[in-house]
Amino acid sequence: MSMKPLPMRDVFLEKIWLEMSVNSSIFFISADFGSPVLDKIREDFPDRFINVGIAEQNLINITAGLAIEGYTVFAYAIAPFITMRCFEQIRVSLALLSEVRPMNVNLIGVGAGYSYVVSGPTHQCYEDITIMRALPNFQVLSPADHITTSALFDSCVATNGLRYLRLDAQVQPVLYPLELPVPSDGFHLHKKGSKVCFIATGFMVHTAFKAAEEINKNGFKVGIIDIFNLTNFSKEGLKKVLESYVAIVSFEEGFSGRGGLDSMLFEFIAESKLDLKTLSIGVDPGYSFELGSREELHEKVGIGIQSSLKKIQPFVQSVTHKFKEQ
């Protein structure tokens, strides 16, 4: 796998293309959404590539019909549309029906968080973690780079199940130059720290790294975890890692306090009887039509480097009682 940063979706589509050439039981269904790599799939497998048009409800229904007939299906659209436009189809004919009819379905949502920067709130996606993790039988996968995206592919083909992959629409730096993430762990401890651990998903892992760098200038050493499977991570493994900390900070490019990564972690902490203070870095709930770069938008909604540091610095100080005076 290339160490040069690549678009997550192209890496994933390339793997699907390769697999489709040796596995005739794979369908790729798009709701009129493309990519240069997708052109190869369209050209080489015209019978197993279907564009349903701008019709996400039908995207899911067709997917369900193919899946209960034994086909492995990759369904592809922009993240907010493939999750929210067709949520009841997903609930009824995938999550619910899969209780009695085995199926292998992978919903690929491109455009996690603010990745469609100038397209505004319809194309941005701050609710998908919350609503998709509400569904039993679904795994919510949220990679932060193309290496992780690639590593998650194999289980998408090898085992029956329902998965939602939220992919960033922009190219993100490589987080795994040497050590590969282990898909069955669902998370990766990038940096071991003391007292405070940052736990982030998707794009926000990169923000967590930058925030850690700033915080550590004050004599701290915070841990950093990338959690890329938000539903089926190793609970034992994460508990073991977190036992040595006194506090965590969650980072997500989704609404704060609305059932996303922060809620998931708080529930996990309670369930695991861990004694940890918590801080949530997430989007202030609300919608905005303002334009700006992704970084500028992040600062406005409270998840940029500076705006999150404003919350993190006093938090770290209070939980460690030894924050240095600036």
Partner 1 sequence: MQEITTKELNYLRRKALWVWKETLAIHRRAPETRLASSLSVIEIFVALYYGGGLKFNALDPLDEDRDRCIISKGHGSICMYPILADLGFFPLEELNNVCKTGSFLGGIPDPVIPGYETVNGSLGHGLGVATGIALALKTKKSDNDVFVVTGDGELHEGANWEAIMFASHHKLDNLNLIIDNNGISMLDHTDNIISHSNLLDRLTSFGWSCVEVDGHDIAAVQKEILKQKNTANKKPKAIIAKTLKGRGVPGLENASLSHIMNPKPELIDELLENLTDSPLEDK
Q: Which one, 67 or 152, has the nearer CB to partner 1?
A: 67
**Of all helices (H) and strands (E), which one includes residue 163?**
strand 161-167
Q: Which one, 94 or 269, has the nearer CB to partner 1?
A: 94
Least distance (Å) from partner 1 to the CB of residue 240? 39
> Is 44 among the residues that bind partner 1 (CB under 8 A)?
no
Least distance (Å) from partner 1 to the CB of residue 97? 5
- Region from 68-76, 148-156, 160-168, 270-278 binding partner 1, contact rule CB under 8 A: 68-76
Closest CA to 26 of 2, 54, 49: 49
Distance CA 206, CA 227 (A): 12
> Is 69 among the residues that bind partner 1 (CB under 8 A)?
yes
Rg for the chain (alpha carbons), in Å? 20
Least distance (Å) from partner 1 to the CB of residue 35? 22
Interface residue with partner 1, options 11, 13, 20, 63 (CB under 8 A): 63
Tokens of 264: 């998931």
Distance CA 322, CA 223 (A): 17
Site residues (CB under 8 A) for partner 1, limited to 90-119? 92-93, 96-97, 100-101
Distance CA 274, CA 262 (A): 15
> Is 48 among the residues that bind partner 1 (CB under 8 A)?
yes
Helices in the chain by DSSP H: which ranges? 8-22, 36-44, 56-68, 79-80, 87-90, 128-133, 146-158, 204-216, 235-242, 261-271, 294-301, 305-320
> Is 72 among the residues that bind partner 1 (CB under 8 A)?
no
Distance CA 51, CA 76 (A): 9
CA dihedral 111, 115, 117, 118 (to 10 degrees): -20
Q: Which one, 22 or 100, has the nearer CB to partner 1?
A: 100
Interface residue with partner 1, options 2, 3, 53, 179 (CB under 8 A): 53
> Is 46 among the residues that bind partner 1 (CB under 8 A)?
no
- Region from 45-53, 138-146, 160-168, 223-231 binding partner 1, contact rule CB under 8 A: 45-53
Number of residues that bind partner 1 (CB under 8 A): 28
Q: Are 231 and 261 in contact (CB under 8 A)?
A: no
Q: Which one, 99 or 325, has the nearer CB to partner 1?
A: 99
Burial class (CB in 10 A: 0-12, 13-18, 19+), 245: buried
Query: Site residues (CB under 8 A) for partner 1?
Result: 47-48, 50, 52-53, 55, 57-58, 60-71, 88-89, 92-93, 96-97, 100-101
